[in-house]
């Protein structure tokens, strides 16, 4: 997590980091790991995955953890950094996807949201974690981890990866249409990538995310301890 080039800056803030900030952040991450029953990469993944979905636009992993809610960027930055502190090779990978394609339709959704899910393509740059596992023969196996959806959303048909055993890729929240170059500062990278979308695409994306997150909030799914 120590910066080595202009793209590699402090993942929790997007600002140039100093050693004191990094030391405090590592201490924060180490404290989380010390409290886990299963500190393996599988246990770390499920710990982050279970964080409720919410807090759109909040990408600071410390805030995500303390408020116990986050979306794809914040949760996957947190997952990456926890894995690194646990001595795993991990990076946040940004993929281009049509985010509506794997969203299940539920009777409680507004007609406008249902229409967006069924029709057209909602473009988005979605974050996952690329985990590198060293095999006995020295080769590195890469797995893609998507920790977007928590357990509670499974009862609405979302693919929550609750039974993932660490042997294969998790199920992504959206179809993987294109991989972007790995960059340490995914917050800045995502902002630049969104500039590739047309004004109409950005409007459709914003409307879709607003309707989806509003629906999630109304179901109580972004609240800690919801049942």
- The pLDDT confidence band at residue 54, using thresholds 50, 70 and 90, is confident
pLDDT in tens, 108-151: 999 999 999 999 899 999 999 999 999 889 899 999 999 999 99
What is the percent of the chain with per-residue pLDDT over 90, rounded to a whole number?
A: 80
Is the model more confident about 155 or about 54?
155
Q: What is the pLDDT of residue 12?
A: 44
**Quick one: average pLDDT of 36-51?**
97
Cut 0.85: pTM above it: yes
Domains along the sequence of the chain with CATH: 19-218 (3.10.620)
Residues 6+ apart with CB under 8 A from 125: 94, 95, 96, 97, 180, 190, 193, 194
**Quick one: average pLDDT of 3-25?**
56
**Quick one: average pLDDT of 21-42?**
95
**Quick one: average pLDDT of 40-63?**
91
Is the model more confident about 181 or about 10?
181
Is the model more confident about 5 or about 178?
178
């Amino acid at each position: 997590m120590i910066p080595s080039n202009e793209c590699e800056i402090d993942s929790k803030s997007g600002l140039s980091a100093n050693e004191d900030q990094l030391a405090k952040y590592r201490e924060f991450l180490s404290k989380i790991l010390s409290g886990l029953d299963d500190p393996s990469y599988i246990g770390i993944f499920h710990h982050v995955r279970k964080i409720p979905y919410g807090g759109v636009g909040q990408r600071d992993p410390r805030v995500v953890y303390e408020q116990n809610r986050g979306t794809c960027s914040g949760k996957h930055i947190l997952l990456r950094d926890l894995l690194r502190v646990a001595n795993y090779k991990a990076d946040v990978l940004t993929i281009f996807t049509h985010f509506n394609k794997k969203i299940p339709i539920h009777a409680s959704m507004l007609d406008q949201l249902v229409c967006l899910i069924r029709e057209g393509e909602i473009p988005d740059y979605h974050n996952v974690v690329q985990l590198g596992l060293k095999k006995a023969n020295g080769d590195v196996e890469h797995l893609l981890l998507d920790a977007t959806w928590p357990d509670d959303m499974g009862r609405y048909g979302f693919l929550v990866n609750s039974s993932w055993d660490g042997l294969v890729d998790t199920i992504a929240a959206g179809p993987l249409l294109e991989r972007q170059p790995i960059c340490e500062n995914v917050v800045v990278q995502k902002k630049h990538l969104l500039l590739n979308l047309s004004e109409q695409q950005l409007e459709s994306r914003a409307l879709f995310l607003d309707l989806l997150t509003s629906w999630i909030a109304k179901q109580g799914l972004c609240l800690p301890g919801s049942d």
